[in-house]
Amino acid sequence: MKKLLIGALLMSLLMTGCAKNEEIPGDAGQLCLVKVETDGIGLVAAAKEGETLAFDESLTSSSAYMNVPEGTVLTIGARDSVDEYKFVKWTKNGEEFSTDYEVTVTIDGPTDFIAVFGLSNGWDGPTASTIEEVKTIGDVLALPYFGWAYSEKTFVYAFELDNVVYRVEAELPAETSKALFDLEFEDPQYEQKFNELVAPLEVTKIDNVTEAIPTQEELDKYVGLTCGDLIDQGWQNNFYNTEEMEFGFTYGWSSYIVKLDGKIEYKDDTDIEEAIRDLKVLSVKYEGLGNVADIEFEQN
């Protein structure tokens, strides 16, 4: 049986004990809801002009929600809270916004700010500054990463460089593959040993994951199909909201929210995928990147 280890497993371990800190200051009736949240583990805070950012150091992850009038000047800030995650960038309403830890903004409507924190594995070797310089896995180990995986013959690593997520592959020599499979997560030197094993691997393939994210126009082509059509193509359901008939799916490297037409009667023994197979797709919305390091999936 082929063994498969996925770096994303480490993410779930690191999430233990995280909490949200919600702050909703201001008077009722104000116009704009500002959400300041995280993707990954880290702290965020928001402050009105003249006030000081306040981070709750007792948490490893936080968020801040504020109702403010249009035209309000805010400072939003991010702070690393655990060694494994480093701040990468801010997005504003889903668009690239800034790579500065602290940003001053003028609110012109309801706004969602997300501080993206990428995993960091402690590598301090030479690092590529452009994608053209990437020749070995070691060239990207110090960059924020979004998962890794390996099988007996292939190593996959996903990382971000210049606001673009890439996925690279390398061939695993038999002796390196065996050494990786023999590593123990509990070993205090696991990270160091892992890096030393994979750093010399020569990159054989580079995929631009960001460029492969489908447009809304492409996603609209699924409207009218049945949910069974999606499932038969390899879409995998990972959560559901039967009240709103919204279902989370992953397909390839990305996650999506699929809204379905109709209702289902949910019971404890309901097979969700079977129950929704014949329902029509009303809409499909891109939600974010999923398992970018998936070895099995080939992006079309």
Quote the percentage of the chain above a pLDDT of 70: 88
Q: Nearest 5°: CA angle at 120, between 16 and 8? A: 50
Cα separation, 196 vs 177, in Å, equals: 13
Q: Check residue 270 and give its pLDDT.
A: 75
Task: Provide the residue type at 15 as one letter.
Answer: M
Number of domains in the chain: 3
Asked, for residue 1, whether it belongs to a domain, the answer is no
* pLDDT at residue 129 tops 50: yes
- Kindly state whether residues 25 and 110 are assigned to the same domain: yes
* pLDDT at residue 210 tops 50: yes
Asked, for residue 162, whether it belongs to a domain, the answer is yes
- Kindly state whether residues 111 and 160 are assigned to the same domain: no
Q: Check residue 297 and give its pLDDT.
A: 58
- Kindly state whether residues 23 and 108 are assigned to the same domain: yes
Q: Check residue 176 and give its pLDDT.
A: 95
pLDDT in tens, 9-56: 333 333 333 344 444 444 444 579 999 999 888 999 999 988 999 999
The predicted model gives 154-160 an average pLDDT of 93
The predicted model gives 188-212 an average pLDDT of 93
Q: Check residue 119 and give its pLDDT.
A: 75
- Kindly state whether residues 191 and 269 are assigned to the same domain: no
- Kindly state whether residues 152 and 237 are assigned to the same domain: no
- Kindly state whether residues 134 and 196 are assigned to the same domain: yes
- Kindly state whether residues 95 and 81 are assigned to the same domain: yes
- Kindly state whether residues 50 and 65 are assigned to the same domain: yes
Asked, for residue 12, whether it belongs to a domain, the answer is no
pLDDT in tens, 216-231: 999 999 999 999 999 9
* pLDDT at residue 190 tops 70: yes
- Kindly state whether residues 107 and 60 are assigned to the same domain: yes
Cα separation, 283 vs 264, in Å, equals: 17
- Kindly state whether residues 107 and 128 are assigned to the same domain: no
Sign, Cα dihedral of 67, 47, 64, 160: positive
**Of 119, 154, 169, which marks where a domain is finished?**
119
pLDDT in tens, 44-101: 999 998 899 999 988 898 999 989 999 999 999 999 998 778 888 899 988 889 989 9
* pLDDT at residue 147 tops 70: yes
- Kindly state whether residues 223 and 145 are assigned to the same domain: no
For residue 194, what is the enclosing H or E element? helix 190-198
The predicted model gives 127-155 an average pLDDT of 92
Cα separation, 93 vs 105, in Å, equals: 13
The CATH code of the domain that includes 83 is 2.60.40
Q: Check residue 30 and give its pLDDT.
A: 58
Quote the percentage of the chain above a pLDDT of 90: 56
Asked, for residue 296, whether it belongs to a domain, the answer is no
- Among 1, 296, 290, 12, which Cα is nearest to 158's? 290
Cβ partners under 8 Å of residue 88, min gap 6: 40, 99, 116, 117, 118, 144, 160
Asked, for residue 10, whether it belongs to a domain, the answer is no
Asked, for residue 298, whether it belongs to a domain, the answer is no
- Kindly state whether residues 175 and 235 are assigned to the same domain: no
Asked, for residue 2, whether it belongs to a domain, the answer is no
Q: Check residue 14 and give its pLDDT.
A: 36
The predicted model gives 136-153 an average pLDDT of 90
Q: Check residue 19 and give its pLDDT.
A: 41
CA distances from 292 to 161, 253, 280 (A): 15, 5, 28
**Of 152, 181, 211, which marks where a domain is finished?**
211
Domain that holds residue 186: 121-211
Q: Check residue 220 and give its pLDDT.
A: 97
Asked, for residue 73, whether it belongs to a domain, the answer is yes
Average pLDDT, the chain: 85
Cβ atoms of residues 248 and 256 within 8 Å: yes
Q: Check residue 298 and give its pLDDT.
A: 55
